Chain A
């Protein structure tokens, strides 16, 4: 896709959002935006206010424009002009303070490439959770009026993981943005954390589950809204143990992500008193010489019986062939069939259907997933901090977010930030493709202060000791 097409596609998504029955006509923001700044598709910046309308963006830096951007800017101006009719005639009202949340993502992030079967049939969409952040901003609309503070979302798309840190520091210095939802892989966080250390910034990690970010990196400027691998694996293991499915066969894929998942699962198994009867590596393929690695029947044979098969397969290609292909009639969990997730589109309690519907509409029909929830709750936490402190001051907002305050995460027990590693404590859903079977912490798994801390790294266990 060329830049222009991408841009138009994004704009058309916006306009479809605005045409929804519940969307209100745009209020004039006083002036037309100057041409959008950016470095091609990467570096493009777009702002949306709480009413879902494009907001003016500061003028571009000298020398940033190209032909493509001019074209894109033109389409943007046309769109804004058509949406906020009367914008020409009005003078700007006294500006309200504005809390802007940056949304940083990487163009062509492979983690958001759909997983496809032959003929490009899509097995998993894996879209970036930007629409969820927009839902969070949309929800703040009524509060803007009460607080006399505007909320806006600015998407900052960069070309590679290396550019995340410079883009964030630039947005902080030049545009006074303090909150960022970061949609980037784990490796982007090391330079990012170094770049913002000690500065007035709060980054919300919405898409990277890696445990090392919470343990070794351990950065005061990062709040992890996506559950860690340790949390999801603990949730899954609690469920298995509560069913008395204690003997587990592990099938591990070849990727580093599969190794990390397996390691987290092994820790959980140890923690909750289950047993791994065998750990077998697999390799997708049909080579008869490698049949011990690629044949589900041979992989699931063996003399020792097991209650359940756990599979770690980030690529998903092999996992989808395993259920009902096993030697013994045993359920499969992990990468397929029963997955531990931060959110599921079928969650029926705690207001789940309402947020699922709002997201479904805002995203053009997508089903809300874990990363979407993590991006949405990040925006919601900033909005709540503004509401409850009645302030647009960063330090007050940060203090509120990092205090023990609970936020309404639509999944039962209130979610809140763990002070030791700034992981958001939250329930983990155990979901099949069409239902949430259980919500962990499973009844019976207790904790001395908060049962949510039976999932993932508890204070005595973690090497990360922030906010002491």
Chain B
């Protein structure tokens, strides 16, 4: 997912810190790097399904706390963090052993989160708590709660770590939060039920999906105002089924892929012109979407199909679907 990718590039900046971290971790068994394994969180079967990228076979079923949703790797990729909404925790999974090795308590019903490893902080949107928790990763405690609009969801950390962007699904708002002070600086009104973010690599725009109004809003980050919006309508679908949620952008910032939820398609958007160029058929209630590092393959979690669609990015075609757990929410790749 885009946030992970950015987190990686962040880690590249403070190289010294990364080296220290690597030395510390060298004590542990050799880290599993770039295994290529695909992890799928399943909201209703309370597990992560691990898929082999070559054979597309399920190789592990990891039991987690209840209702696993958003997932992020640690910078060194030895750990996978999973927000588990119905147990109010983030599970920590050892990527080598493929088992849960710890838990971090959060606010009520964590859904999505972001990690800033330089500050050793996790920012979690608590869907039922109308707040954003700022968690100290080392102590595993919440050090601050930022009140937000009801049902906060997407969390995005600015590249310098100073600002956080949070959506409020009920408030139809994007909050800009001072990460240090822990308070809302500004709000901008977008469409109905804003969900998740992607940022253009030039750091000028923030794209946010508005699920109910069926749009993607583009926010000018400097002015912090809406500078445009994109609407979708795959052929043969009803407008009311168009419920965009997940989105990713290619590293060159030219193409964005948006999952359209109940409309069972992924929209392909040309970023510079903001035009939809094509639609790719996937399963129902498609939410989670992720690109492989080489950007050749894309994975989409179909909540109402209990499977993951694998897409060949070059041909823009779905190649295979893999049955996973019940109500798959997100996909993440260890590459």
Q: Which residues of B contact A22 (CB under 8 A)?
A: 108, 128-131
Is residue B306 contacting chain A, with contact meaning CB distance below 8 A? no
Instruction: Mark each residue of chain B from 172 to 214: 1 if its CB lies under 8 Å from any CB of chain A, else 0.
Output: 1101000000001001010011000000000000000000100
The answer to whether A145 touches B187 (Cβ under 8 A) is yes
> Smallest Cβ distance from B215 to chain A, in angstroms?
13
The answer to whether B127 touches A354 (Cβ under 8 A) is yes
Task: Kindly state the separation between the CA atoms of A138 and B147 in the bound complex, as whole angstroms.
Answer: 13
Is residue B169 contacting chain A, with contact meaning CB distance below 8 A? yes
Q: Which residues of A contact B149 (CB under 8 A)?
A: 139, 141-143
The answer to whether B150 touches A358 (Cβ under 8 A) is yes
> Smallest Cβ distance from B110 to chain A, in angstroms?
13
Interface size counted on chain B using CB atoms at 8 A? 27
Contacting residue for B147 out of A24, A139, A146, CB 8 A: A24
Is residue B240 contacting chain A, with contact meaning CB distance below 8 A? yes
Interface residues of A in 54-98 (CB under 8 A from B): none
Task: Kindly state the separation between the CA atoms of A35 and B129 in the bound complex, as whole angstroms.
Answer: 34
Is residue B170 contacting chain A, with contact meaning CB distance below 8 A? yes
Contacting residue for B173 out of A142, A406, A414, CB 8 A: A142
| B residues with CB within 8 A of A | 107-109, 127-131, 147-151, 168-173, 175, 184, 187, 189, 192-193, 212, 240
The answer to whether B172 touches A138 (Cβ under 8 A) is no
> Smallest Cβ distance from B329 to chain A, in angstroms?
13
Task: Kindly state the separation between the CA atoms of A357 and B173 in the bound complex, as whole angstroms.
Answer: 21
Contacting residue for B189 out of A146, A354, A414, CB 8 A: A146
Q: Which residues of A contact B150 (CB under 8 A)?
A: 138-139, 141-142, 354, 358
Q: Which residues of A contact B193 (CB under 8 A)?
A: 351, 408
Is residue A260 contacting chain B, with contact meaning CB distance below 8 A? no
Is residue A315 contacting chain B, with contact meaning CB distance below 8 A? no
Residues A354 and B128 in contact in the complex (CB < 8 Å), given A143-B173, A413-B240: yes
Q: Which residues of B contact A406 (CB under 8 A)?
A: 192, 212
The answer to whether B240 touches A139 (Cβ under 8 A) is no
Task: Kindly state the separation between the CA atoms of A354 and B125 in the bound complex, as whole angstroms.
Answer: 13
The answer to whether B173 touches A146 (Cβ under 8 A) is yes
Q: Name the prevailing secondary structure of the A interface residues.
A: helix
Is residue A21 contacting chain B, with contact meaning CB distance below 8 A? yes
- Other than A145-B187, A357-B109, A358-B150, give 20 A-B pairs with Cβ distance below 8 A: A21-B107, A21-B129, A22-B129, A139-B149, A141-B150, A142-B148, A142-B149, A142-B150, A142-B168, A142-B175, A143-B171, A351-B151, A351-B169, A351-B193, A354-B127, A354-B150, A354-B169, A358-B128, A387-B172, A412-B240
| A residues with CB within 8 A of B | 21-22, 24, 138-139, 141-143, 145-146, 351, 354, 357-358, 387, 406, 408, 412-414
The answer to whether A21 touches B108 (Cβ under 8 A) is yes
Task: Kindly state the separation between the CA atoms of A387 and B191 in the bound complex, as whole angstroms.
Answer: 11
> Smallest Cβ distance from B45 to chain A, in angstroms?
15
The answer to whether B170 touches A139 (Cβ under 8 A) is yes
> Smallest Cβ distance from A402 to chain B, in angstroms?
18
Task: Kindly state the separation between the CA atoms of A22 and B171 in the bound complex, as whole angstroms.
Answer: 15
> Smallest Cβ distance from A206 to chain B, in angstroms?
19
Q: What is the chain A residue whose CB lies nearest that of B184? A: A145
Task: Kindly state the separation between the CA atoms of A138 and B130 in the bound complex, as whole angstroms.
Answer: 10
Q: List 18 A-B contacts (CB under 8 A).
A: A21-B108, A22-B108, A22-B128, A22-B129, A139-B170, A141-B150, A142-B147, A142-B149, A142-B173, A143-B171, A145-B184, A354-B151, A354-B169, A357-B128, A358-B128, A406-B192, A406-B212, A408-B193
> Smallest Cβ distance from B89 to chain A, in angstroms?
16
Q: What is the chain B residue whose CB lies nearest that of A450? A: B240
Q: Which residues of B contact A357 (CB under 8 A)?
A: 109, 128
Task: Kindly state the separation between the CA atoms of A354 and B187 in the bound complex, as whole angstroms.
Answer: 22
Q: Which 7 A-B pairs have the closest CB atoms?
A: A142-B149, A142-B171, A146-B187, A139-B150, A408-B212, A22-B130, A413-B240
Q: What is the chain A residue whose CB lies nearest that of B243? A: A350
The answer to whether B129 touches A142 (Cβ under 8 A) is no
Task: Kindly state the separation between the CA atoms of A24 and B193 in the bound complex, as whole angstroms.
Answer: 23
Q: Which residues of B contact A139 (CB under 8 A)?
A: 149-150, 170-171
Task: Kindly state the separation between the CA atoms of A142 and B240 in the bound complex, as whole angstroms.
Answer: 27
Most buried by B among A24, A145, A357, A387: A145
> Smallest Cβ distance from A404 to chain B, in angstroms?
13
Contacting residue for B187 out of A21, A24, A142, A358, CB 8 A: A142
Task: Kindly state the separation between the CA atoms of A141 and B240 in the bound complex, as whole angstroms.
Answer: 28
Q: Which residues of A contact B212 (CB under 8 A)?
A: 406, 408, 414
Q: Which residues of A contact B192 (CB under 8 A)?
A: 406, 408, 414
Task: Kindly state the separation between the CA atoms of A351 and B168 in the bound complex, as whole angstroms.
Answer: 13
The answer to whether A414 touches B240 (Cβ under 8 A) is yes
Q: Which residues of A contact B168 (CB under 8 A)?
A: 142
Q: Which residues of B contact A412 (CB under 8 A)?
A: 240
Q: Which residues of A contact B172 (CB under 8 A)?
A: 387
Q: What is the chain A residue whose CB lies nearest that of B171? A: A142
Task: Kindly state the separation between the CA atoms of A414 and B211 in the bound complex, as whole angstroms.
Answer: 11
> Smallest Cβ distance from A51 to chain B, in angstroms?
10
Task: Kindly state the separation between the CA atoms of A265 and B175 in the bound complex, as whole angstroms.
Answer: 48
Task: Kindly state the separation between the CA atoms of A408 and B193 in the bound complex, as whole angstroms.
Answer: 8
Task: Kindly state the separation between the CA atoms of A104 and B89 in the bound complex, as whole angstroms.
Answer: 42
Most buried by A among B168, B170, B184: B170
Q: Which residues of B contact A354 (CB under 8 A)?
A: 109, 127-128, 150-151, 169
> Smallest Cβ distance from A32 to chain B, in angstroms?
25
Q: What is the chain B residue whose CB lies nearest that of A354? A: B151
Q: Which residues of B contact A138 (CB under 8 A)?
A: 150
> Smallest Cβ distance from B289 to chain A, in angstroms?
20
Q: Which residues of A contact B128 (CB under 8 A)?
A: 22, 354, 357-358
Task: Kindly state the separation between the CA atoms of A412 and B22 in the bound complex, as whole angstroms.
Answer: 48
Task: Kindly state the separation between the CA atoms of A408 and B150 in the bound complex, as whole angstroms.
Answer: 14
Task: Kindly state the separation between the CA atoms of A358 and B150 in the bound complex, as whole angstroms.
Answer: 10
> Smallest Cβ distance from A198 to chain B, in angstroms?
33
Task: Kindly state the separation between the CA atoms of A412 and B189 in the bound complex, as whole angstroms.
Answer: 22
Task: Kindly state the separation between the CA atoms of A358 and B126 in the bound complex, as whole angstroms.
Answer: 13
Q: What is the chain A residue whose CB lies nearest that of B186? A: A146
Task: Kindly state the separation between the CA atoms of A351 and B173 in the bound complex, as whole angstroms.
Answer: 16
Q: Which residues of A contact B148 (CB under 8 A)?
A: 142
> Smallest Cβ distance from A312 to chain B, in angstroms?
32
